Structure 1
Amino acid sequence: MSGSVFTLDDLRRVLLESAGADEDVDLDDDILDKEFADLGYESLALLETGGRIERGWNITLDDSVLADSTTPRSLIEAVNAHLTAHVA
């Protein structure tokens, strides 16, 4: 899993492994700018998601990353910014 770029497909996989998916939500749709709450993911699911990202990509995310990342796009950007800074 560990790599230099965290993608939407990576996030989809982690979300499904962490908390599954609401039957009314298709994660294969264009979800980049949808709120996590609208996708059926509450704070506990996102904490588990964050933990899996940290373990899978061997990084440590600030507590604020999950709180501030309200959409898949914002979380992906935050993880990639951390990966870039971690490599530099």
Structure 2
Amino acid sequence: MSTAPFTLDDLRRVLLEAAGADEGVDLDGDILDVHFESLGYESLALLETGSRIEREYGVALDEDLLADAQTPRALIAAVNEALGAVQQAA
């Protein structure tokens, strides 16, 4: 389990590992507030991304949380909140 915050670079890496990237989508750009759908990631890709985050970071992410996090900024905030809860419980 990592104690470092989950960052946009972490999310980019996990997204690419989980689902790749659509042609024409620049994940290196300013994507924090771009909807995942506009980036080419549908719900199944986000579920796989969430599963990889759970395994790698030792957190539990609710499916509703993944559905509600429609942008990278929202997902990063949710992951960091979950990481904080895990660290406080330890």
- Same-fold call, TM cutoff 0.5: yes
Counterpart of 2:81 in structure 1 is 81
Q: Which secondary structure state, in structure 2, belongs to the residue aligned with residue 48 of structure 1?
A: helix
In the alignment, is residue 71 of structure 1 matched against residue 74 of structure 2? no
RMSD between superposed Cα atoms in Å? 1.1
* Distance (Å, rounded) in 2 between the aligned partners of 1:85 and 1:54: 13
Question: What is the TM-score with the length of structure 1 in the denominator?
Answer: 0.95
Counterpart of 2:40 in structure 1 is 40
Q: CA deviation at 1:64?
A: 1.4
* Distance (Å, rounded) in 2 between the aligned partners of 1:77 and 1:36: 15
Question: What is the TM-score with the length of structure 2 in the denominator?
Answer: 0.93
Query: May I ask how many residue pairs the two structures share in their alignment?
Result: 88
Asked whether the 8 Å contact 2:65–2:78 carries over to 1, the reply is yes
**After superposition, what is the alpha-carbon deviation per residue over 1:35-79, rounded to whole angstroms, capped at 9, x for unaligned?**
000000001100000000000101111121101100000000000
Aligned-pair identity (%): 67
Instruction: List, as ranges, runs of 4+ consecutive aligned residues in structure 1 with deviation greater than 3 Å.
Output: none
Which structure 2 segments of 5+ residues have no match? Answer: none
Counterpart of 2:61 in structure 1 is 61
Letter in 1 for 2:81: A
Asked whether the 8 Å contact 2:34–2:71 carries over to 1, the reply is yes
Which structure 1 segments of 5+ residues have no match? Answer: none
